Amino acid sequence: MEKNASRREFLAASTAAVAAGSAIAASAAEPGKLAIEGGEKAVGPAPKHARWGEAEREQLSKVVDQPSLMYWKGPQTTLFTERFKATYPFEHSHVCSSGTAALHIAVAAAGIGPGDEVITSSITDMGTVIGVVFQQGVPVFADLKPTTYNLDPEDVARKITPKTRAIIAVHLGGNPADMAALRTLADQHNLALIEDCCQAWGALDRGKPIGTAGHIACFSLQQSKHITTGDGGVVASSDPKFGPLLQRFGDKGMDRSGATGGLFHEFATNYRMSELQSAFAAAQITRLEKIASNRARAGNLLTTRLADLNGLTLHDVNAADRCTYWFYMLRMQPSAFRCDRAKFVKALAAEGVPAAAGYIPVPLYGNPVFQKHAFFAGRWPVKELGLTDMDYTRVRLPETEAILDTCIRIAINEAMPDDHIEAIARGVQKVARHFAV
């Protein structure tokens, strides 16, 4: 009897253990349980993202048969320029070595000189302001709109002084800035309006190609941009005053048309693009519309799927525009969750959501080079000469700083189909609901 009892007890215990194990396995696979706590991941592997192929190979092979790799009247640069103008109908365009170069060319063509002020965003790449500083101009940072992450026209208006000469609007993440309001300000105060379109290939501003609302548009072909040559850029304009100057300011001040008889009327650096880069770009730009439309679809779908979540402020795009989402950015309202941003993003990453906390570490004015006014061998000549009283240690932009403290970036690209975006949305929903207050 004791043996039978022991056997019954053993079988009962074994059955209970198996049941408990099954329950644990079921719990681990439960969709509502966070992956960081042993649950099932919401997002599978990202689809392969092939950015170039036979079209680029074919175009590059043609360069080998050319006698010259110089951009001027080169067949590849000519072809890329033609294809660029088919999408962006500017009267004047100049291919150059980077988006930073394009912006430097633009501010030089706009006549920025010692002590001139240029109003722009402080959440952007350093390349937006490098040209301003090298022209001995003074970057003036304006605050941003809280959900578009672009310049707040009202704060731009407050920053205009008698020294202001230009505005650089940055279309951050491919989201068009409020160009109608900025153009009105520029026209009222006789300012040059430059568009930094480096993150906004294929974006549409009220249905029109990005860059066409201002006086000069600047594009980047850096490795991470929508289309690329590794590094490269384009600067373009239809303005009769600025447009004819672009080529000169990207080519050491030389007028290649011969109108100046070889004499130099402008002082400029060498920002030329080679035929090899132009060949690659000529192939890349044929992919642009598909890239732009796919990214727009993906970002808009993500917004739709996340719209019912409390505590998250989503990337705000005007219904009349097309944002091409170089990244998707949302903001986390700390009081709405039982965790900080770092833990929230760690949980997202565990779910397979391609998320990162923040964007740049500090606003541009918070970088040591600005805080110390140490632009030229540790010095800033325009300040030493009394041409500006700008003190970047005193600059504070509340919304800008709040954006960087609360934003979360999600990487999306044109290769992601709807079901992958849906999975990313489920991952965000899962984490947000788990940590909701």
Spans of all domains in the chain: 54-286
Q: Over pLDDT 70: what percentage of the chain? A: 93
| Position 309 pLDDT exceeds 60 | yes
Residue 16: per-residue pLDDT: 42
Q: Over pLDDT 90: what percentage of the chain? A: 91
Q: Which of 140, 101, 104 is nearest to 122 (CA)?
A: 140
The answer to whether 160 and 193 are in contact (CB under 8 A) is no
Statement: the pTM of the whole predicted model exceeds 0.75: yes
Question: What are the pLDDT digits (tens) for 177-204?
Answer: 999 999 999 999 999 999 999 999 999 9
Question: What are the pLDDT digits (tens) for 42-90?
Answer: 999 999 999 999 999 999 999 999 999 999 999 999 999 999 999 999 9
Residue 75: per-residue pLDDT: 97
Pairing of strands 192-196, 164-170: parallel
Query: Span 144-166, mean pLDDT?
Result: 98
The answer to whether 233 and 253 are in contact (CB under 8 A) is no
Residue 15: per-residue pLDDT: 39
Mapped onto helix, strand or coil, the DSSP state of residue 387 is: coil
Residue 261: per-residue pLDDT: 87
Residue 169: per-residue pLDDT: 98
Query: Among all chains, which residue has been given the structure tokens 């043609």?
Result: 62
Residue 259: per-residue pLDDT: 82
The answer to whether 85 and 290 are in contact (CB under 8 A) is no
Residue 257: per-residue pLDDT: 85
> How many Å apart are CA 218 and CA 99, to the nearest integer?
7
| Position 8 pLDDT exceeds 70 | no
| Position 139 pLDDT exceeds 50 | yes
The answer to whether 185 and 161 are in contact (CB under 8 A) is no
Residue 310: per-residue pLDDT: 95
| Position 225 pLDDT exceeds 50 | yes
Other Cβ atoms closer than 10 A to 290: 11
Other Cβ atoms closer than 10 A to 113: 14
424 backbone φψ class: left, alpha, beta (φ>0; ψ -120 to 50):
alpha
> How many Å apart are CA 145 and CA 318, to the nearest integer?
13
Active site residue 85: no
Residue 30: per-residue pLDDT: 53
In this prediction, residue 20 has a pLDDT band, given cuts at 50, 70 and 90, of very low
Question: What are the pLDDT digits (tens) for 234-271?
Answer: 999 999 999 999 999 999 999 998 888 889 999 999 99
| Position 40 pLDDT exceeds 80 | yes
In this prediction, residue 421 has a pLDDT band, given cuts at 50, 70 and 90, of very high
Query: Span 88-96, mean pLDDT?
Result: 98
Query: Among all chains, which residue has been given the structure tokens 């650096």?
Result: 269
Round the average pLDDT of the chain to a whole number and report it: 93
CATH 3.40.640.10 fits 54-286, yes or no: yes
Catalytic residue among 48, 225, 343, 430: 225
Question: What are the pLDDT digits (tens) for 99-136?
Answer: 999 999 999 999 999 999 999 999 999 999 999 999 99
Q: Which of 26, 28, 51 is nearest to 41 (CA)?
A: 28
